[in-house]
Structure 1
Amino acid sequence: IQAGDCYGHGSRVVAHQNDGTTLYVKCVPMQWPLNNEPGECTFESWLSLEGPTVHVRSQLNNARSDHTQYAARGQELPAVYTNGNYYRLFTYAGAKPFTGDKLRQITKVWRSGAPDQVAGGPWDHWYATENWAALVRDDDFGVGIWSPGTYSFIGGFAGEPGKGGPKDAPTGYIAPLRSEVLDHNIQYAYEYELIVGTLTDIRAYVQSSRTNSRPNYTFRNDRQSWTLRNCTDAGWPIDSEWTVHLDEGQPLLVGPDAYWSAEKVPTIYLRAAFETQQDTARLAWEQLNGPGGDIRFSVEPDGQMHTYEISLAANASYQGTIKRLLIRPVDQGMKGATVRIESIGCERPE
C-alpha cells in the first residue's frame, strides 16, 4: 500500500520531484496487514494538474524474491477515500451509457463489525458502464474517479455518513478494479483521472473524453489485462506476442471486462500461432445480462502465425451487450503445447 500499513508505518519515499506542473513520488510501499513489512517493489506516481482534474499515472516495479506465477487477482486502480461529508456515491451502471440516462446512487453503508461479519460484504459492487463514480456532498459537489476501460467498481461508505474530517474514521470509498497477473518482475502501469466539481461537471467531463469501447487487444508489451485459467504463460516481459503454455487441464484465456453491442462487432480477428495437436479452438463470449455462448473455429496447428477471421453474427447467442471474450485454445492440455498471440480484436490486423 502506497500510504503505509495498518499499524501506522508509512512507506519510505526514495525519490520525489515537483517541476511546477507534475508531482513525482517514488516509494517502497508497505504490506497493508503486516507490521512494518515493506513490499519487494517500488511504486511510482506522476500527478499532473489540468484544470479541475488530476491526471495520475502510476507504476508498480516488482522485485519479488518468490518467482511463482500466481493466478490473477483484483487490483484497486486506485482506491479513493473521502472525508465523511462526501458521502453520497453516484455512478452510471445502466444499459444506455453516455445518453444522459439516470444515475444510480450507491447507498451501501458499513457502520460496524469486521468485514467478514457484514452481510453481503462491507462494500457494494457494480458494473460502471461509463467507467466512473463520484463521492459528493449534499450540494452535489465532490470528486469523481474516471478509469477509462475499467468497468468493475466497488465502493460505499464506512461509519456515520455526513460527519468527520480528514483525521476522523468515517470515509467514502471507491475503487475501479481490474483482474491482473502480477509477475515477480513486472512493471505494471495504469492511469486514471480525479475530477473535482459537481456531479453534472464530472459526468460531462467523462463524456467529452470517453474512448472507443470496441474490443481490440494487441500484445506488444503487456497482457492487455487478459488473464489465465488452468495454464501459465512465458512471464514478463512480453515482447510482441503473448506466449501461453497449454500443458495440462482445460486451458482458458479470459479477456478483461468490456462493453460493446454485438451488432457493432460482427467479426473477431485472431492473430495467433497454435502449436498443438488439435485443429480447432473455441472463442466464447459473456453477455452483460445473459448466458453468453461460444463458437468453434478451425486452426492450423503448425506453430506458424496466421490470421483467423471468426464470424459471430450468425450465432444466435451472440446478441445484446457483450462484456468479455474468452478463448479455449485446446479442449485438453498436452505437454509442450503452446499458443502465441499477437492480437485479438474487431479490426483486421495489418
Structure 2
Amino acid sequence: MEQNIGIIIAMCSVTCCNGLELTLEGDNPTVHGLRSLCGVLICEETINASISSSSDNDNDGSSVVLDSITSMSVFRLESPISKLDAKNKREILIGSITSQTPTLTQVANGRKVYGLLKAGRGTVRVELVKQEDCQAEFTCQVRGSYNQGREMVTSTSVVQHPGQKGNQLNNGIVMPEMSLQVFSLVHQLVSQSMEGLGKKMKNLEDKIGQLQKEMSDKSDSSEDRLNDRIGLLQKDVSDNVEQLQKYFNDKTDFFELRLDTKLDFFENRVEDKIDNNINLNKLIQLNSKVSIELAQFRTETKSDIMNTLGALRQSFQQEQGEALRSFSETFDKTLSNTSDLLSSMTSEFDLLKAYSKMNLYTVRNETEAI
C-alpha cells in the first residue's frame, strides 16, 4: 500500500503539482447545470513535492521541497496591444487563494472559480464557458516557503489552440488521458484515506467508551466505599447504644438490689428490736439513723448515676457527633424518667418512714399500756 501511495504522489507531482491540471476542448462543449462548459482548468499543488525553484535566491534550477503554501493564483495571459512589447504579456487575475482567505467561490465574466487551501494542499478550479477563454493561455502561480522560511515562487502555463484535441468520451467530455489516470489514482488514494480515517474514528470511539466505563467503575467504587463507611458508623452507634443501655440496666439492677437489701435489713432490725422489747428510744434513734443512711445512700447513688450517665453521654457524643443527636434526646428523656423514678422512690421512702414511725409509736403506746 505504501508503494502505491508513493507512485500516486509521484504522478500527482509530475502531472498536477506544477500548475494547470486539466483543459477541455472547445469543439465538444459539456453541459454543467444550466451552463455549457467548453473547458475546465485545475491548478493544484501539494507541499513536500519536489519542484524546480524559480525564486530570485535559487537560479540554478535545483529541486526544492515546499514546507508550506502561502498563496495560489490563476492568471489569463493577454497579448499587449503594441507589437513592440509582444514578449511581455499582460496577466489578468482569474482567482486566488491565500493562507488568510483559504476558500474561494465566485462567478464573473463567464467563469466559475472554486478555490481551497488546507492541509498542505492547494487547488483552484476554473470552469470556462467562453470559447475565447478555452483557446487562451493561462498561468498558475504558487508562492510558498522552504528550508526554514525561504520564499519560493513557481509557475506553469498552458495554452489551448483550436487544433488541439484530447481523448473524447461517448458523452462528449474531453479529458487528457494522463488526467484520467491521475484522477483514478487520486480517487483510490482518497478511498484509502477515508478507510484509515474510519479506523481512527472507531479507535477514538473505543477509547471514549473505555474512559466512560472507567469513570463508571470509579463512581461505583466510591459509592460502595461510602456505603461501607455509613454501615460501619451505624454499627458503631448501635453497639454504643446497646452498651450504654446495658450499663444503665446494670446500674439500675444494682441500685434496686442494694435498696432491697437495706429495706430487708431495716425490717429485720425493727422486728428484732420489737421482739426483744428493746428500748423504744433506741429504736427510734435507729430508725432515724437508718433514714439518714437511706437518704445519704439515695443521694450518693443518684449522684453516682447522674455522673456516670453524664460522663457516658459526653464520651458518646464526642465519638459519634451529629449521628447521636436523636439518641441524646432519647437519653435525656430516660434520665428525666430516672429522676422521676428517684423522686417517686423518695416519696415512697418518706411514706415508709412515716409508716414506720407510726408503727413504732403504736408499739410504744401498747408497750406502755401493758
Same fold (TM over 0.5): no
More strand by share: 1
More helix by share: 2
TM-score range, shorter chain: under 0.3
TM-score normalised by the chain length of structure 2: 0.19
